[in-house]
């Protein structure tokens, strides 16, 4: 059940690519990210309070949430900066290198994990056909992959300690606060933040559905090892390509379909492996305070 939930979560995040692409034709990137997380935080806190939860400050939980939020924030920021000078295909390929970094961070070197990761990267190469010419944007995107890998590792380590719902809520709140100054620096005009249909749909997908998907990730990582989660997340570019092909009319070549199939095979192979003992007990990793 957690694996299926994460696959559906990845489908939702795949849908954020075309939704964000359409919205960014109107609004600057950091302003959009700030608004999506602000909406997500409001919705998440509202739901939590309605079901009887109490938003409280727990020092240890707040520290863990803060560490995870830093990785999450750095992931989004470096990815956005990288996209200014690299191609979308290079960004997609380099970002998914977190399937390599996660097991390295957690020192998990099972053969099945590495074979599945290599198969997923091969499929992604066929899907996005990145350029071999490296530039500064690619280096920023590599930093993004490291940051997202750190966040996935944090999610496994911290979601099993304390109340998972509050761990999720504090991340939503903290990342919104971190993005606020970036939005002020961009200084969007009223026309850029006006509630047009495109912007509302974009915020609905990213701030509404994707927030729910993030909550599912927190729940799933209480029982699934991080390397399997990273592998399942490698489906995100494939879902994005399929949804862009279906809804936006973008072309997907035969090579792209083959790449998608390889990614799917890698996910099935790697995510059905039995969890190792190291992934079923509290984690003591370089990430853990």
Task: Supply the DSSP string of 151-209, one letter for each residue.
Answer: HHHHHHHHHTSS-HHHHHHHHHHHHHHHHHHHHHHH---HHHHS--HHHHHHHIIIIII
**Whole-angstrom Cα distance, residue 25 to residue 157?**
38
**Whole-angstrom Cα distance, residue 206 to residue 39?**
9
Among residues 140, 174, 200, 1, which one has the least CA distance to residue 72?
Answer: 174
Q: What's the number of domains the chain is made of?
A: 1
**Whole-angstrom Cα distance, residue 47 to residue 53?**
9
Q: Which domain holds residue 141?
A: 2-279
Per-residue pLDDT of the chain (289 residues; tens, 9 = 90+): 778 888 888 888 777 877 887 888 899 999 999 999 999 999 999 999 998 888 888 889 999 999 999 999 999 889 888 877 877 777 778 888 898 899 989 888 788 888 988 998 898 888 877 777 778 888 998 999 999 999 999 998 898 887 889 999 999 999 999 999 989 999 999 999 999 999 999 999 999 999 999 999 899 888 888 888 888 888 877 877 777 777 767 777 888 888 888 888 888 888 776 655 344 433 333 333 3
pLDDT score recorded for residue 26: 92
**Whole-angstrom Cα distance, residue 271 to residue 269?**
6
Residue 272 CB: number of other CB atoms within 10 A?
Answer: 11
Lookup result for tokens 């701030």: 207
8 A C-beta contact, residue 220 and residue 2: yes
Lookup result for tokens 């899907």: 127
**Residue 39 exposure: Cα atoms within 13 Å on the Cβ side:** 19
- Does residue 284 fall inside a structural domain? no
Residue 1: partners with Cβ closer than 8 Å, 6 or more residues away: none
- Does residue 65 fall inside a structural domain? yes
Tokens of 261: 């199939």
- Does residue 74 fall inside a structural domain? yes
CA-to-CA dists, residue 66 to 52, 61, 159, 162, 190, angstroms? 24, 8, 13, 14, 32
- Does residue 44 fall inside a structural domain? yes
Three-state secondary structure readout of 13-53: HHHHHHHHHHHCCCCCHHHHHHHHHHHHHHHHHHHHHHCCC
3-state secondary structure of 243: helix
Tokens of 122: 């091969």
- Does residue 288 fall inside a structural domain? no
- The CB-based long-range contact list for 183-188 (8 Å cut-off, 24+ gap) reads 183/30, 183/31, 183/34, 183/35, 185/30, 186/28, 186/30, 186/31, 188/27, 188/28, 188/31
Among residues 207, 226, 233, which one has the least CA distance to residue 276?
Answer: 226
pTM over 0.75: yes
pLDDT score recorded for residue 274: 61
- Does residue 26 fall inside a structural domain? yes
Lookup result for tokens 């590792």: 153
Burial class of residue 281 (count of CB atoms within 10 Å of its CB; 0-12, 13-18, 19+)? exposed
Cα 160 to its chain centre, rounded Å, is 19
- Does residue 287 fall inside a structural domain? no
Tokens of 32: 């959009």
């Amino acid at each position: 059940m957690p694996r299926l939930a994460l696959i559906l979560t990845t489908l939702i995040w795949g849908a954020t690519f075309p939704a964000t692409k359409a919205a960014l034709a109107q609004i600057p990137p950091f302003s959009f990210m700030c608004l999506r997380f602000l909406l997500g935080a409001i919705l998440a806190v509202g739901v939590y309070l309605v079901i009887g939860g109490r938003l409280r400050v727990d020092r240890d939980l707040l520290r863990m949430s803060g560490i995870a939020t830093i990785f999450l924030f750095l992931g989004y920021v470096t990815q956005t900066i990288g996209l200014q000078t690299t191609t979308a295909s290079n960004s997609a390929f380099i970002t998914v290198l977190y399937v390599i970094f996660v097991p390295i961070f957690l020192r998990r070197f099972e053969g099945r994990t590495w074979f599945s990761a290599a198969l997923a990267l091969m499929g992604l190469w066929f899907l996005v056909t990145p350029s071999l010419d490296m530039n500064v944007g690619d280096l920023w995107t590599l930093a993004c992959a490291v940051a997202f890998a750190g966040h996935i590792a944090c999610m496994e380590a911290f979601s099993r300690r304390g109340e998972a719902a509050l761990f999720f809520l504090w991340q939503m709140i903290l990342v919104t606060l971190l993005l606020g100054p970036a939005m002020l620096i961009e200084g969007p005009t009223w026309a850029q933040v006006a509630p047009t249909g495109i912007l509302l749909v974009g915020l609905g997908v990213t701030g509404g559905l994707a927030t729910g998907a993030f909550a599912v990730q927190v729940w799933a990582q209480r029982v699934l090892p991080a390397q399997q989660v990273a592998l399942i997340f490698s489906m995100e570019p494939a879902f994005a390509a399929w949804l862009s092909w279906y809804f936006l009319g973008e072309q997907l070549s035969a090579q792209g379909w083959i790449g998608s199939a390889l990614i799917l095979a890698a996910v099935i192979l790697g995510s059905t492996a039995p969890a190792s003992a190291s992934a079923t007990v509290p984690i003591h990793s370089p990430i853990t305070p």
